[in-house]
Amino acid sequence: MTRGKVYLVGAGPGDPKLVTVRGLECIKGADVIIYDRLIDDRLLAEARPDAEMVYVGKTSRRHTMKQSEINKLLVRKAGEGKAVVRLKGGDPFVLGRGGEEAEELADRGIPFEVVPGVSAAMAVPAYAGIPVTHRGLASSLGVITGHEDPTKGDSAIAWDKVAAGMDTLVFLMGVENLAEIIGQLVKKGRPPATPVALIQNGTGPRQRTIVGTLADIADRAKEADFSPPAVIVVGEVVGLRPKLRWFDTRPLFGKRVLVTRARSQASVLSQMLADEGAEVIEMPAIEIEPVTDWRELDRAISGLSGYQWVIFTSVNAVEAFMGRLHAHNLDARALGGIRICAIGPATAAALKAHGLEADWLPQEYTAEGIIAGFKDRAISGGRVLLPRVQMAPQGLVEGLSGLGAAVEQVAAYRTVPATEALSRGKKVLLDGEVDIVTFTSSSTVRNLVSALGADWPRLNEATIACIGPVTAATAAELGLKVDIAAREHTIPGLVAAIVEGLDKSQEGARYG
């Protein structure tokens, strides 16, 4: 990015994934980011750690910084030779005062670039199942401010032309002036029976939509306690919502799900839950760390040729083992001639990423499944290496030893409580704002229960979902009511079990 330049970047309508590729490039390369209200923290997290962050958000009643001051700030920061991103919701040139900022920059001779964004005027109705144009229903579209400059006095909107001249009308920032907007439209000829939709928190997991007509939408909004940020859509296209709605019909929509997995591993589970409509709160109960003493693992690596099998029971074990292998200037060839067992497909995929193919996966992705499978694999008298988490349960070792194998279990990594992350998420739990709590290992259960102290029973107010029987057993031992235990002990299996469990509970509520 060029220094001494301002990038007017549209952040999109809310969901950070709707930012453009160019917009994300600018955010990642900026020296300074000057951002508005409602910009998602996940988008800001893409900035460089050393980037200067300046909040200039506005509400209808409170401005952190006046527009004239924002203009001066842009000029000053660019004048210091910095690459400045002015990050604005939606599109910078659609009712976002980006044009005024560009004018100021042009007048001052400051280089600038406009990076268009996905406007809420189109995206938010789309997420509510409302196309703003549709053949046979609407061939024209008007985007109108719902919040005019209060210093102008009389409205600058040609209400007679707006009311009768366009099929679909989209008002941004208009909920607080809803009565005035409706009054003007009806007064200037729009039929009171015209369909209207109000969409709150569009494109996000808390999106909410109410539908009515010009005659009754104000009363419906009052009854629903509707508040900004929201988009108003007026026109016959609103009638398509029952058929075309897709975003808020996903199985976990409106549910807050707590992910307690280690931060380094949480993303896959979080994304799969979000794809099903959940609002995900990541509160890792554990962190993955190296063991403090590598001597046991190093001894095992130096004598790898003496083992018939190496069994990996987690992705963490694969990464820790391979990391130590590389530390000794070795690679996958060191495992040549040794058979490899992976407890499940995720672990097998981690091995494959390092150039290794698992020779065998058990039918059931548990320690018991491994033991049962080895009954037919003649391991009596053979040596088995088991690189695992420090302080691992002994059931697998005992089961394999009972089959006559000489099992060497070595610590490859350890888990520790994620104290800082737990303290941040504790309030959300205790406020009763979590619908589902997920556990992917026994250590996540123990650490979360321990972190909550005397408040641990509050967990039972939410649905408890565990990845498998071992984790579920730990939760039960600690007094938790396990509602869901995945039959397939994988992340996809856990998500599928949550969706299935929720469907059954809703069906019971309907017919019970």
C-alpha to C-alpha distance for 70 and 96, rounded to whole angstroms: 13
How, if at all, do strands 406-417 and 383-389 pair?
parallel
How, if at all, do strands 484-485 and 463-466 pair?
parallel
Who contacts 311 (Cβ-Cβ below 8 Å, separation ≥6)?
340, 341, 343, 370, 384, 385, 386, 396
Query: With contact defined as beta carbons under 8 Å apart, do 112 and 5 qualify?
Result: yes
Query: With contact defined as beta carbons under 8 Å apart, do 321 and 296 qualify?
Result: no
Catalytic-labelled residue, pool 122, 173, 272, 322: 173
C-alpha to C-alpha distance for 335 and 356, rounded to whole angstroms: 9
Catalytic-labelled residue, pool 15, 31, 36, 483: 36
H or E element that contains 275: helix 263-275
36 in catalytic set? yes
What does the DSSP assignment read for 195-232?
EEEEEESTTSTT-EEEEEETTTHHHHHHHTT--SSEEE
Cβ-based neighbour number of residue 126 at 10 Å: 17
Who contacts 492 (Cβ-Cβ below 8 Å, separation ≥6)?
272
Q: Which two tokens stand for residue 285?
A: 């109960």
C-alpha to C-alpha distance for 425 and 412, rounded to whole angstroms: 29
C-alpha neighbours within 13 Å on the C-beta side of residue 406: 6
- What one-character DSSP code corresponds to residue 250? S
Report the first-to-last Cα separation within the chain, whole angstroms.
61
C-alpha to C-alpha distance for 242 and 88, rounded to whole angstroms: 32
58 in catalytic set? yes
H helical segments located in 330-418 = 345-353, 367-374, 395-402
Cβ-based neighbour number of residue 29 at 10 Å: 15
| Angle of helix 98-108 versus helix 67-79 axis, rounded to 10 | 40
173 in catalytic set? yes
Catalytic-labelled residue, pool 58, 72, 188, 426: 58
C-alpha to C-alpha distance for 437 and 283, rounded to whole angstroms: 10
Q: Give the residue numbers annotated as catalytic, written as ranges.
A: 36, 58, 173
